[in-house]
Structure 1
Amino acid sequence: MFDNLIFEDPGFFWLLVLLPIVGVRYFLTRNRQQAELRISSVKGFKAQRSILSTLRHGLFVLRILALTFFIIAMANPRSTVVTTRSSSTLGIDIVLAIDISASMLARDLKPNRLDALKEVAAEFIKGRPTDRIGLVVYAGESFTLTPVTSDKAVVLRALEELEYNTVLEQGTAIGMGLATSVNRLKESNAKSKVIILLTDGVNNSGFIDPKIASELALEYDIKTYTIGLGSNGMALSPVSPLPNGQFQYSMTRVEIDEGLLREIAQTTGGKYYRATDNVKLGKIYEEIDSLEKTEIEEFTFTNFEERFRPFVLLGGLFLIIEVLLRFIVFRSFI
């Protein structure tokens, strides 16, 4: 009932200092508050002390309690309830462009590059509750896996089900992956538009030059962060399919066109990263997450509710009881 209670006029509490003074005065004059009869001797009177004469001092206590509650009410007590509401009007639209060529099954990241990426990307998506996110995948060609949406459940489910298949033409079409991502964002009205493009190879497929795609991103004011995925040197990679649908693995040299990825990032105002293991990949997404933050406007509302009435009622109750007792029960002592 009295949670978060504050007093608007606490100066009235100085009146409480007067109550002990009144109490001391009452104690000193308590025996002179009744009429006196002076006689030469009281031997003829039997000494009997009525309990009412003792209880009548309770009237003073009731009066003090009434005054105390009236003073508290005068201090204007009120309770406060503070509520907040967050608002982010124009946030960030992000497209994750993911290479799903066969080389993404290489096992230099655990359990492989694609699964390691899916785990890190899922955490990144979960950490962007106010932004819209879409997924684009590419190998020798590209397509939109999910449009840019605020429904994170849809994006996370699509990411979880993402796996290598032979539906797409084989190869690594970086230009087409970037161009498809630009196409997803070019009509966006978001405050900021970002592409996070990841690949573990070189551009060897597709009919769109990556440099032209990066110029399109620049034209539509889309910042692109590029990530080269794969360990330095050799990696255990799939080299040929087996009859059972699995791959035969062998140590092959990792080849990533870092110059191209760095140029795409510089052209669009982004940054290039190299992820050689699971830990570095996670830190890269953490850094991008910290660089691209949505401004959230927070509104604070304070509601006041007056709380003086209970104190007035209590003070009035004690005052009424005191008056009733004084003129009914203790009337002979007045």
Structure 2
Amino acid sequence: MFKFENIWLLTLLGLVPIGILFYMLLQRWKQKTRARLGDKWLIDRLTAEFSSRKFLLKSLLAGFALVLLILAAANPQTRSESGPQHKKGLDVMILLDVSKSMLAQDIKPTRLDRAKLLVSQLIDNLGDNRLGLIWFAGRAYLQMPLTTDLAAAKLYLQNAGPDAVPTQGTVIGEALRMAGSAFNNKDKKYKAVILISDGEDHDPEALRIVKDLAGSGVMINTVGIGSPEGATIFDPATNDTKKDAEGNTVITKLNEAQLRELAQTGNGIYVYLQDATAAAASLRSQLAGIEKKDLEDESFAHFNTYYYYLVGLALLLLLAELLLPERIRQKKADAIFVSPSNSNK
């Protein structure tokens, strides 16, 4: 398979027709300038040592060198037949609750900070699995589609918080539906969801969606964070505890029963998040029992690159352009040029 690693750089080839147009305009300007200077025969003699053909050849050499350098920057590649192109793994979607209730401090430093620590450890230990990320509160947002680029996942995780989702609330059902859409529906297995939340959502729609996902081969694992007794929520906007419309202090509690029911219906496990390392180990063990599939991802493939051949050829063309003289060698230079129009005077 042939491809360009940086295919967007090929847009620079649009400079080629611009260069051709510039050359044509330059030649036209030269002709008009010569015509305005005076006697044509005298001008021809004075400029006889300059070759328009060599100037054209030098321009072509520079133009071809530019094209080769642009192609080299785009980096043409072919897939190596000898390199590993497939690895076995799973498609795993992590659904992280970033609602304001996750700012409660019954789990130190906050529920959200502990949850992000868990996600970070999962990312570090996912191995060859593909990972996708969804943040949700009052709405669900796909942060990263399924990929093996785990470094990018770490970058997305740094910005996870209530500000990432403008609408507040906890819509577990919508997040689960979005995760289902992110999977390849042709596969009836090889798929898993890890839902991390305090479970403050009593929408029965979430249970129905879990049943549909389980029927399509998706394992639903849930992680509960918080305390059943509940805690107040610190609101950074007011530097005070969050209050409802009637001025009462809001208490957020872990809805462990719902999260357990979702995991049981989704053929997965429920994990209470107290220690991130222990929770990550339980989830990895659960995922290890799922049958793996061949993941076709270009990050697993080895590619042969050819940019250096193009750079080498471009340098040769530029060297030839530099060494090619624009002037014509003359056997004997005339000391004085006499115009035929002035020879009879």
Shorter-chain TM-score range: 0.5 to 0.7
- Residues 1:287 and 2:285 are matched in the alignment: no
1:99 CA drift (Å) = 0.5
For 2:208, give the aligned amino acid. I
Query: Greater strand share, 1 or 2?
Result: 1
- Residues 1:196 and 2:180 are matched in the alignment: no
1:120 CA drift (Å) = 1.9
1:296 CA drift (Å) = 8.9
Corresponding residue of 1:131: 129
Corresponding residue of 1:104: 102
SS at structure 2 position matched to 1:97: strand
For 1:262, give the aligned amino acid. R
Corresponding residue of 2:162: 164
1:231 CA drift (Å) = 2.2
> Which deviates the most, 134-143 or 177-186?
177-186
Taking structure 1 as reference, are residues 248 and 216 closer, same or farther at Cα in structure 2, changes over 3 Å only? same
Superposition TM-score, scaled by structure 1 size:
0.55
| Larger gyration radius, structure 1 or structure 2 | 1
Corresponding residue of 2:220: 224
Q: Any conservation in 2 of the 1:95–1:195 contact (CA below 8 Å)?
A: yes
Structure 2 distance, partners of 1:236, 1:229, is 14
Q: Any conservation in 1 of the 2:136–2:165 contact (CA below 8 Å)?
A: no
Q: Any conservation in 2 of the 1:86–1:296 contact (CA below 8 Å)?
A: no
Cα root mean square deviation, aligned: 2.9
Structure 2 distance, partners of 1:163, 1:295, is 33
Corresponding residue of 2:16: none
Gap runs ≥5 in structure 1: 1-84, 298-334
**Superposed CA offset, 1:66-93 (max 9, x none):** xxxxxxxxxxxxxxxxxxx989633111
Q: Matched residues, percent identical?
A: 27
1:257 CA drift (Å) = 2.8
Structure 2 distance, partners of 1:184, 1:117, is 22
Query: Alignment partner for residue 138 of structure 2, among 124, 137, 140?
Result: 140
Taking structure 1 as reference, are residues 149 and 239 closer, same or farther at Cα in structure 2, changes over 3 Å only? same
Q: Any conservation in 2 of the 1:94–1:132 contact (CA below 8 Å)?
A: yes
Query: Alignment partner for residue 248 of structure 1, among 241, 250, 253?
Result: 241
Q: Any conservation in 2 of the 1:238–1:247 contact (CA below 8 Å)?
A: yes
1:238 CA drift (Å) = 2.4
Superposition TM-score, scaled by structure 2 size:
0.53
Corresponding residue of 1:213: 209
- Residues 1:233 and 2:229 are matched in the alignment: yes
Structure 2 distance, partners of 1:192, 1:120, is 22
Structure 2 distance, partners of 1:218, 1:295, is 15
Structure 2 distance, partners of 1:247, 1:139, is 21
1:146 CA drift (Å) = 0.4
Structure 2 distance, partners of 1:118, 1:253, is 22
For 2:205, give the aligned amino acid. D
Report the number of matched residues.
205
Q: How does 1:38-117 map to 2 (within 5 A)?
A: 89-117=87-115
For 1:89, give the aligned amino acid. K
Taking structure 1 as reference, are residues 138 and 296 closer, same or farther at Cα in structure 2, changes over 3 Å only? closer
Structure 2 distance, partners of 1:274, 1:296, is 26
Structure 2 distance, partners of 1:189, 1:154, is 25
Taking structure 1 as reference, are residues 132 and 166 closer, same or farther at Cα in structure 2, changes over 3 Å only? closer
Q: Any conservation in 1 of the 2:120–2:154 contact (CA below 8 Å)?
A: yes
Corresponding residue of 2:61: none
Taking structure 1 as reference, are residues 111 and 249 closer, same or farther at Cα in structure 2, changes over 3 Å only? farther
Q: Any conservation in 2 of the 1:98–1:138 contact (CA below 8 Å)?
A: yes
1:172 CA drift (Å) = 0.6
Taking structure 1 as reference, are residues 143 and 124 closer, same or farther at Cα in structure 2, changes over 3 Å only? same
1:151 CA drift (Å) = 0.6
Query: Alignment partner for residue 148 of structure 2, among 141, 145, 150?
Result: 150
SS at structure 2 position matched to 1:90: strand
Q: Any conservation in 2 of the 1:227–1:274 contact (CA below 8 Å)?
A: yes
Structure 2 distance, partners of 1:149, 1:113, is 27
